[in-house]
Amino acid sequence: MKKTIAMIGTLDTKGAEYSFLKSHIEKRGFKTLTLDTGILNKPLFTPDITGEDIATAAGENICVLKAQKDRGKAVAAMGRGVSVILPKLYAEGKFDGVIALGGGSGTSIACEGMRTLPYGVPKVMVSTVAGRDVSSYVGVKDITMVPSIVDISGLNKISREVFARAAGAVCGMVNVSVREVEDRPVIAATMFGNTTPAVEHARTIIENSGYEVVVFPCSGTSGKILESLIESDYISGVLDITTTEWADELVGGVLSAGRERLDAASKKGIPQVVVPGCLDMVNFWKPETVPQKFNGRKFYRHTPDITLMRTDIKENKELGRIIAEKLNKSSGPSAVFLPLQGLSMIDAPGGQFWWPQADRALFDSLIKNLRKDIPVRKMDNNINDNDFSGKCAETLLKMMKK
């Protein structure tokens, strides 16, 4: 049975480009399913899902949109419509992968739809904006962004090459078969360079107990992805050893995961062990990128491109309050572990960020504001000591078996 690639785009203004894309997909033995997001003119070829269908799904009338001549409103409407129709088509088994071509507007519309699809569904976006920050288009989903090199405006020597290879890419993605392995419950663990020994030791213990461990780097984006995966029921428990993204969110660093970080596990009621790992640091890029308002603070050059700033006592008090507030909403088993000898490799006796008073402000605030039925264990260790990370892992495993 032939597999199907969905194509999202404006078949009135980009009909030639989509006709070319369609031919390259079909000559590889695939079928195509076309969603037309155009509202201006008659499409070059008949789509499977019309612009009228998409506008209606968004609660709009395509004739009204056309008459209003409001490009922004039309783009927003078609994006909403695609985000309604595309997941329904996928749930019905109508396609196996999706591809689109676009400038800023076309990328916005197509990616809004792609973000509604499950992880693992091949998603390819050939875009004029792919060479810069595309986080607002991709969100937390696995969308492959392909730079169009030239504008999506006609067929030429360069665009034909890009479009043909993009067609090959999405077809190849769909044809890849993932080797089936025994499904095991998934434990999420959060890690930074400064907590790597802790997570690696804990992971060994958890995996030896029959669980699969997925490690998320605390890069801001990964924190958002973790929350999304928990919401989507991919994760059975969380070893949240590294909650550093909250320091960036509070203070203004570059690796914030947003104010929803630490919400999903509490909401879902899955077991979680939480540690204030790396809350001693806020992340910036090169030293010259650090805002002037932080002059006089304590800094550490982690790499040539990453500058760390030590959180102070006031910030740590607030971080303790925030984490407690998040955990207080938990409907499932939760526990907090506090490493009294430091929150990271460099927050250790003799280390560059060793500041016991700041750590104590964090611990005291967290305990003061935390629900009394949530256990807190203080250990006279650094976060990366095997005794500490081992106890965190063992506690989570006990929670998982209840």
- Annotate 325-359 with three-state secondary structure: HHHCCCCCCEEEEEECCCCCCCCCCCCCCCCHHHH
Q: Which pLDDT score, from 0 to 100, does residue 71 have?
A: 87
**Residue 163 to residue 161: CA distance in whole angstroms:** 6
Looking at the fold, whether 222 and 167 belong to one and the same domain comes out as no
Domain count, the chain: 2
Looking at the fold, whether 364 and 218 belong to one and the same domain comes out as yes
Q: Which pLDDT score, from 0 to 100, does residue 135 have?
A: 87
The CA-based diameter of the chain, rounded to the nearest angstrom, is: 72
Under DSSP, the state recorded for 130 is: T
Looking at the fold, whether 78 and 147 belong to one and the same domain comes out as yes
CB–CB of 255/244 below 8 Å?
yes
Beta bridge partners of 8: 35, 100
Q: Which pLDDT score, from 0 to 100, does residue 181 have?
A: 64
CA angle 342, 343, 347 (to 5 degrees): 55
Note whether residue 181 is domain-resident. no
Q: Which pLDDT score, from 0 to 100, does residue 132 have?
A: 80
For the chain, how many residues are written? 402
Taking only the tens of pLDDT, the chain with its 402 residues reads 899 999 999 998 899 999 999 999 999 999 999 999 998 888 889 999 999 999 999 999 999 998 998 889 999 999 999 999 999 999 999 999 999 999 999 999 999 999 999 999 999 999 999 988 898 899 889 999 999 999 998 899 999 999 999 999 999 999 998 776 667 899 999 999 999 999 999 999 999 999 999 999 999 989 999 999 999 899 999 999 999 999 999 999 999 999 999 999 999 999 999 999 999 999 999 999 999 999 999 999 999 999 999 999 999 999 999 999 999 999 999 999 999 999 999 999 999 999 999 999 999 999 999 999 999 999 999 999 999 999 999 999 999 987
**CATH code of 366's domain:** 3.40.50.12030
Looking at the fold, whether 281 and 233 belong to one and the same domain comes out as yes
Asked which of 152, 175, 198 is the last residue of a domain, the reply is 175
Tokens of 61: 């009338």
Note whether residue 165 is domain-resident. yes
Looking at the fold, whether 171 and 257 belong to one and the same domain comes out as no
3-state secondary structure of 219: coil
Looking at the fold, whether 56 and 12 belong to one and the same domain comes out as yes
Q: In this structure, which long-range contacts are made by residues 397-401, counting pairs with CB atoms below 8 Å and at least 24 apart in sequence?
A: 397/205, 397/206, 397/209, 397/211, 399/237, 399/271, 399/273, 399/333, 399/335, 400/185, 400/187, 400/211, 400/236, 400/237, 400/271
**CATH code of 22's domain:** 3.40.50.12020
Beta bridge partners of 321: none
Beta bridge partners of 214: 188
Q: Which domain holds residue 263?
A: 186-401
At 71-98, the pLDDT tens digits run 899 999 999 999 999 999 999 999 999 9
Count the Cβ atoms, other than its own, within 10 Å of residue 248: 23
- Across the beta sheet with 272-277, the strand order is 212-217, 186-191, 237-242, 272-277, 334-339, 376-379
Cα 164 to Cα 103, 176, 273: the distances in Å are: 18, 18, 48
Q: How far is CA 312 from its chain centroid? A: 29
Q: Which of 216, 218, 258 is nearest to 235 (CA)?
A: 216
Looking at the fold, whether 170 and 194 belong to one and the same domain comes out as no
Q: Which pLDDT score, from 0 to 100, does residue 180 have?
A: 63
Count the Cβ atoms, other than its own, within 10 Å of residue 344: 27
Average pLDDT in the chain: 95
Strands 237-242 and 31-36: unpaired
Looking at the fold, whether 146 and 236 belong to one and the same domain comes out as no
Asked which of 175, 202, 223 is the last residue of a domain, the reply is 175
Note whether residue 351 is domain-resident. yes
Beta carbons within 8 Å of 174's beta carbon, 6+ residues apart: 3, 5, 30, 96, 97, 122
Looking at the fold, whether 92 and 192 belong to one and the same domain comes out as no
Beta carbons within 8 Å of 222's beta carbon, 6+ residues apart: 216, 257
Q: Give me the helix-helix angle, 157-175 and 15-26, nearest 10°.
A: 40
Q: Which pLDDT score, from 0 to 100, does residue 39 have?
A: 87
CB–CB of 363/341 below 8 Å?
no
